[in-house]
A = this chain, B = another copy of it.
Amino acid sequence: MADNKPLHAQLYEEMLRRIHSGAWAEGEQVPSERSLIAEFDTSRAPVRQALAALRADGLIIGGRGTPSRVQRIVPSQSFETFVSFTEWAHQLGRIPGQRVIEAARRAATDLIALELNLAPGEPVVQITRLRTLDGEPAMLERSTFPLHVGVHLLVADLDAESIYQTLSAHHLTPARARHVFDAVAAEPLDVECLGVALGAPLLRVRRCAYDDHGAPVELADDRYVPGMATFAIENAAHHRTTLTRVPAEATGAP
């Protein structure tokens, strides 16, 4: 193991391995802090810091008199999986597909310029794609990119490649995103691509993604066919909230 990482981070990774390998079984007790201190021959702070990280991940619970227990093994989706439709579908074991409806270069409207931190009228690249799951229409994606980002996409084979992957190859990986959820009625283009009735309800997810330095990378308007995908949030008073995009059938018990 690399020695450059802090001890608590190494302990965290080791504990993660033990949970995923089943050495620390789901529902069973985690060894006591004192025994972990003895095993790793260290002091209490790094052990507690590692355990706190597991706790924040929702992987262990309990305490206060009782030994901590392993809570669940299925983790929340990574940022990458959450942001990228392609990654998400692959993780589910389903086949993502896409068909480019339009890829255009045009001048930014005032609203888009504001969100992307550009001057009104500056050129942007707009790409409209139909996204499918196992061949069935699932979502219509309207994405807008600043020109310096979009140029890489105009020359890419978007019918075969993930936008996320293409951007990553040019060191334009999104590092932060804001998603806003609401419902809209299907417009004519939605009707044509998604095969729903005019005015049918669609789940709209508007996304603005930023790079490492906080510069806007993408502005998107995704419209999901109900029944194909939903979004789930688990949040608790005491630990980190987790986010998942889920196939619509799985409503999910505790």
Partner-B contacts on A (CB < 8 A): 56, 79-80, 82, 114-115, 175-185, 199-204, 206, 208, 210, 214, 216, 224, 226, 230-238, 240-243, 246, 248, 251-254
Which of B177, B185, B231, B253 touches A114 (beta carbons < 8 Å)? Answer: B253
A-B pairs with lowest CB-CB distance, top 9: A201-B201, A183-B183, A183-B201, A183-B203, A176-B236, A79-B237, A179-B233, A182-B230, A181-B231
Q: Give min CB distance, A145 to chain B, whole Å.
A: 16
A246: nearest chain-B partner, CB-CB = B180
18 sampled A-B residue pairs with Cβ under 8 A:
A56-B240, A80-B237, A82-B235, A114-B253, A115-B253, A175-B237, A176-B234, A183-B224, A183-B226, A184-B201, A184-B226, A199-B200, A199-B201, A200-B201, A201-B202, A208-B254, A210-B254, A233-B243
A228: nearest chain-B partner, CB-CB = B182
Q: Is the CB of A235 within 8 A of B185?
A: no
Contacts of A175 in B (CB 8 A): 236-238
Apart from A175-B236, A177-B236, A182-B203, 16 more pairs, CB < 8 Å: A56-B56, A115-B251, A176-B234, A178-B234, A179-B234, A179-B235, A180-B233, A181-B231, A182-B224, A182-B226, A200-B201, A203-B203, A208-B254, A216-B254, A240-B241, A241-B243
Q: Give min CB distance, A229 to chain B, whole Å.
A: 8
Contacts of A210 in B (CB 8 A): 254
A52: nearest chain-B partner, CB-CB = B52
Q: Is the CB of B233 within 8 A of A233?
A: yes
Given A201-B201, A241-B241, CB of A181 within 8 Å of CB of B236 = no
Q: Is the CB of A252 within 8 A of B183?
A: no
Contacts of A214 in B (CB 8 A): 254
